[in-house]
Chains A and B, each alone.
Chain A
Amino acid sequence: MLDQATEPAVLLIAPTGGGKTLAGFLPTLVDLIDGQHQGLHTLYVSPLKALAADIKRNLRTPVDEMNLPIRIEDRTGDTSYTQKRRQRADPPHILLTTPESLALLISYEDAPRIFSGLQRVIIDEIHALAESKRGDQLMLALSRLQSLAPNMRRVGLSATVEDPTAIAQQLAHHPDPCQIITADPGPDPDITMLETDEKPPWSGGGAAYAIPAVLEQVKQHKTTLIFHNTRAQAEIFFHNLWLANTDDLPIGIHHGSLSREQREKVEGAMVAGDLRAIVCTGSLDLGIDWGDVDLVIQIGAPKNVKRLVQRIGRANHRYNAPSKALLVPANRFEVVECVAALQAAKEHDLDGDPKGPGPRDVLCQHILITACAGPFDADKLYSEVTSVGAYSTLTRPALDDCLEFCATGGYALRSYDKWKRLKQTDGHWHLRDPRAARNIRMNIGTIQDTDTVKVRYKGSFKPLGEVEEGFAATLSPGDTFLIGGQIVRYENLREMTVEVTRNASKKPKIATFMGTKFATSTQLQARILTMFQQERWPALPAHTAEWLHMQRDVSKLPEADRILVESFKHSRRPHTVFYGFAGRNAMQTLGLLITQRMEEEKLNPLGFVATDYATMVWSLDPVTDPGALFVADDLRAGFESWLQGNTVMKRTFRASATIAGLIERNLPQSRKSGRQATFSSDILYDTLAKYDPDHLLLQITREEALRGLVDFGRIEEMLFRTNGRVDHVTRDRVTPLAAPLLLEAGRVPIGGAGREKLLEEETARLMEISGLNKIDLKPSKPQWRVGW
């Protein structure tokens, strides 16, 4: 690292445990040792504030031991107001922060003074940031810093990735080169599938069958992390684990929907070595220094080989010993997925999708942040922005559109003359009302929070955690759900807080958290499809091979160049499954397209659910001719009109509009006071789509949705590889391969004619029960009619 200290940009790729973070700081410590440097010298940015706090601890120890004159502080959302003010007036030598806190810092008018002496910036876990808009925001912030501190050098620290050059290009000041240093990756991790006496079930995501075997592993290891793909699954698993934990082993739970207090408690206990196991989701992935974790268990199929390998790499900090991990498939389908992932990991076949150009919603936010700091020149901004790798191809008109949007809203048919957000005076752009800076600062960031409501015990002020507002709305008093490993009973919703009481007697209804649901990678799915075509499956456990044989007998196994469609009745309703193997997002889009086609065919679709490999639709009337629904040209033709009205677009719009500063985040206090005043972003979307269909934000939404949640690219790929070859199998009950879909969470209701019929039936039924429909509406006395 010291040899490269003068390079403008360096990317260091090393497995965790290799001491790469401290290596990144080495040149800084050397620079600061003489106590000559005044003010901020090095900025360290990590994706998680907990990591910043950890680094502070780890860095302080050597600095304090050697009695070096170096001030190290962190600055995150948790830092106190006074401390933050003081840091601005008198910055430390080393400041540890997150992309969002950095964005906030550059929005202050005194940013030029704070950063003028900056020499180095270190970006930790850059591979994690590079995948999301947080990385884009960070790189835009760096372009600003580079102008304030022309000597600033950049260091990126990354885990093993499939394409280091792509990350290097994002890191460096465009078009400067970036040195890539790759450390010895160390021994391969020891990954196997957990063997259990009990066979995994056909369907379900709980992996309850594996509880005894998992508990046995926990006993045999010092500290075990038990990862889940979704928060809801983590809750259920934790609940079941706790019921079986007759030895009272100390086991905790950690996920993003728990209150901060609860999470910190678990993190603290983990660092102190007080816990034998932690049931968690990706929120712990980068959360803290894992310390003495000697076993990682992954419950459910790993959707992505790269993420699995990186996660496992974090366990076991002894550099030369292999990290140990166990995969626990939750059902037989996941057994196949796990075996495919194991093969890929063994062959170092890491997966990843190329990243598109820098998103414009993030750019809009960056423009507003820049305006908060003071008047700016558009030409200078353009040269800064295009120095960011991801934005290097941005055209000047594209920047001007974003600027126009920030300034006036950019509406075609009606303009805000009086109330512009940004105005231009003497060639410089600035806020019309400087007080608006406060609002802009409060909305900094690109992480999307879904609308959640706090959960707490009745009569208590301590929050238990959060659930989605949509979920809260479906609860009736008496319903039970799991949160923080406890079953609670819903009492009421008060001031945007769900009040609950303790209740251990009932089976819980499960909270539908928006877990982290990644789409299974294309590479992994191709492996699975190949595996299906084997004559026999010696690599698979007997129970799963048997299950596949059964599927082959009853129906067929999906093939890469054909689409298998299965129809059957379940719970008295016709169900149809389309095996497209295009990944969760694309399969979700396919669900929306197919249900739209079904609506046209008057089949009254009621809803669908999508997984990475299939979409299941249920309807009032059965599908008899799937080929007719699956005509590629019809799907494509329907796509354009469909795209506008669908819920995925609205969700995408909401995210982009929030980032771009059109919608303010629902801050707790504003929601509490002004509920009648806030309205759904769907209304904004509909209004724009009707009156201003070419608006910048609709362009951005479309772009985002096509490669993100809509993922039409993978549908095209599927249509291409199957080319109209549809096999329709009709059975009287669910097939082995379709079984996992029945228990899949994330069902999407379709608000069409079928749903309307059901709602009418339900409201009529409720009126009947209540006796309200018996009230005579006929006038009992003469109608009054005067004075009109």
Chain B
Amino acid sequence: MNNGYALELSSVELIALPSGALWLPKTHALCVSDLHLGKSDRIARRRGVMLPPYETRATLEKLDGLIEVLSPRMIICLGDSFDDLSAAESLDTSETEQLMRQQAGRDWIWIEGNHDPGPVDLGGRHLKEYHVGPLVFRHIADPKARGEISGHYHPKCNVARGGTRPAFLIDKHRVIMPAFGTFTGGLYGSHPTLRNLMQADATAVLTGTRALPVPFAATA
């Protein structure tokens, strides 16, 4: 938590964590985006390439770490939680059990994403969007929205040759979250889609050992 970056969106306090998750301290809600669980399975099925099938385990372990420290009352998965709906079924017993343990005693929301548009049989509530107070949680940013928290683009930014890192993009209207999943790449912040979505004075918050804020305009 000490290494997080505090910000405000529509007057709601948020903390961008170095792991790429977003913490809502007043409500004890934890938001993670683009887990892409079951990605290796989907790639094996679709392309016949067998990547190390450990990414679901790795992602859930990372989430475990956050749950242990923060004890969230609610967890919001911001879409593309599963690499596709069949991938959701490919999870092995130990992985689904781990997910069930994580869900126990807290509200769990699956926001639907382009990869996982239908409900999954893995507990929790399944929503297209989640509107609450002045905030809206959805998978893909709507340029007209205010107080919006979204994912989908997996933004990554490069600062002065410090290497490329997954990053939060933040301005007065929205937060675009980095991908939390282990087998995920990213879209450079310099991409026109992201530039157009964000205000000129947006901040990028680099993930890593500490959340590092930097003017979005100064990143590549």
Chain A residues engaging chain B, CB cutoff 8 angstroms:
408-409, 411, 413-416, 418-421, 431-433, 435-436, 439-440, 473-476, 492-494, 661-664, 675-680, 683-684, 687-688, 690-692, 695, 749, 751, 755-756, 758-760, 762-763, 766-767, 769-770, 772-773, 777, 779-781, 783-788
Contacts and interface: CB of A to CB of B under 8 A. Distances in A.
28 contacts: A409-B50, A409-B51, A413-B54, A419-B44, A419-B50, A435-B48, A436-B47, A474-B158, A676-B153, A676-B154, A678-B185, A679-B184, A679-B185, A690-B54, A691-B52, A751-B163, A756-B209, A759-B162, A760-B212, A762-B159, A762-B162, A767-B213, A772-B213, A777-B7, A784-B11, A788-B24, A788-B26, A788-B28
A692 B50 CA distance: 14
Interface string B55-92: 10110000000000000011000000000000000001
B41 interface: yes
Interface string B21-49: 00010111100000000000100110111
Contacts of B129: none
Given A780-B11, A787-B132, A676 B186 contact: yes
A766 B219 CA distance: 10
B206 A662 contact: no
Interface centre among A418, A475, A766 (most CB of B within 10 A): A766
A473 B186 CA distance: 13
Contact of B27 (A408, A664, A691, A785): A785
Contacts of A773: 213
B218 interface: yes
A784 B50 CA distance: 48
Contact of B210 (A433, A476, A760, A784): A760
A662 B52 CA distance: 9
Given A676-B187, A678-B185, A684 B162 contact: no
Interface string B126-168: 0000001110000000000000000001100011111110000
B97 interface: no
Contact of B53 (A409, A493, A690, A787): A409
B12 interface: yes
Contacts of A678: 185
B120 interface: no
Given A780-B11, A783-B11, 8 more contacts: A409-B50, A493-B188, A663-B49, A675-B187, A679-B184, A692-B54, A759-B162, A770-B217
B49 A755 contact: no
A412 to B, nearest CB: 10
What 8 pairs between A and B have smallest CB-CB spacing?
A409-B50, A679-B185, A788-B27, A436-B48, A419-B44, A770-B215, A691-B54, A763-B214
Nearest to B73: A788
A753 to B, nearest CB: 10
Nearest to A422: B48
Interface of B: 6-8, 11-13, 24, 26-29, 41, 44-45, 47-55, 57-58, 73-74, 92, 132-134, 153-154, 158-164, 179, 182-188, 190, 192, 201, 203, 206, 208-210, 212-215, 217-218, 220
A409 B206 CA distance: 34
B13 A783 contact: yes
Contacts of B6: 777
Given A476-B220, A676-B186, A780-B11, A687 B58 contact: yes
Contact of A411 (B8, B52, B160): B52
A279 B118 CA distance: 59
A785 B26 contact: yes
Nearest to B209: A756
Given A411-B52, A687-B182, A759-B159, A418 B45 contact: yes
Contacts of A475: 220
Max chain A Cβ within 10 angstroms of own Cβ: one of B44, B73, B154: B44
A676 B114 CA distance: 13
A678 B213 CA distance: 26
A443 to B, nearest CB: 9
Given A664-B49, A767-B214, A690 B58 contact: yes
A416 B53 contact: yes
Contacts of A763: 159, 206, 212-214
A766 B162 contact: no
B45 A687 contact: no
Contacts of A788: 24, 26-29, 73-74, 132
Contacts of B53: 409, 411, 414-416
Contacts of B51: 409, 662, 684
Contacts of B185: 675-680
Given A679-B184, A772-B201, A784-B11, A493 B190 contact: yes
A415 B183 CA distance: 17
Contacts of A413: 54
Contacts of A762: 159-160, 162, 214
A10 to B, nearest CB: 41
B48 A777 contact: no
A687 B52 contact: yes
B149 to A, nearest CB: 14
Of B28, B52, B159, B218, most buried by chain A (CB within 10 Å of CB) is B52
Among A419, A663, A677, A683, residue most surrounded by chain B Cβ atoms (within 10 Å): A419
Contacts of B161: 474, 749
A419 B41 contact: yes
A663 B8 CA distance: 41
A787 B52 contact: no
A439 B220 CA distance: 33
Nearest to B74: A788
Among A675, A758, A763, A783, which residue has the most Cβ atoms of chain B within 10 A?
A: A763
B218 A770 contact: yes
Nearest to B215: A770
Nearest to A788: B27
A214 to B, nearest CB: 34
B39 to A, nearest CB: 9
Contact of B214 (A435, A687, A691, A766): A766
A696 to B, nearest CB: 12
Contacts of B24: 788
A683 B154 CA distance: 15
Nearest to A475: B220
A679 B183 contact: yes
Nearest to A779: B11
Contacts of A787: 132-133
A661 B48 CA distance: 10
A749 B161 CA distance: 9
A492 B190 contact: yes
A416 B13 contact: no
A306 to B, nearest CB: 37
A408 B158 contact: no
A411 B29 CA distance: 36
A92 B161 CA distance: 53
